[in-house]
Structure 1
């Protein structure tokens, strides 16, 4: 897991970096199964779980 990141003497937590990268990954992933997510029982909840899976994968593998 990453430690704190310093940019111009400002320390950013690693979760902020993970969330920023997961937003980019989620936008790519969302374009592929858009029809599936729109036909889900609760589209917002399905999108939330996809983003949760992306963040969890990044935290476990980094």
Structure 2
């Protein structure tokens, strides 16, 4: 539940930092919301060979 709230809050923050242009707001909101998942997947891929690690990361998000 905390991960979902964190992603939603990140989305809202990114949306309001996009200023007045709507297409920029949408892109910035999506980029901000998914940024942490991308970082977690990159670190897990480089450091672990067990596929269960990737499953656990995706389940948490």
Q: Would you call these one fold, judging by a TM-score over 0.5?
A: no
The normalised TM-score by structure 1 is 0.42
Write 1 or 2 for the structure with the bigger share of helix: 2
Write 1 or 2 for the structure with the bigger share of strand: 1
The normalised TM-score by structure 2 is 0.43
Higher relative contact order, structure no. (Cα contacts within 8 Å, ≥ 6 residues apart) = 1
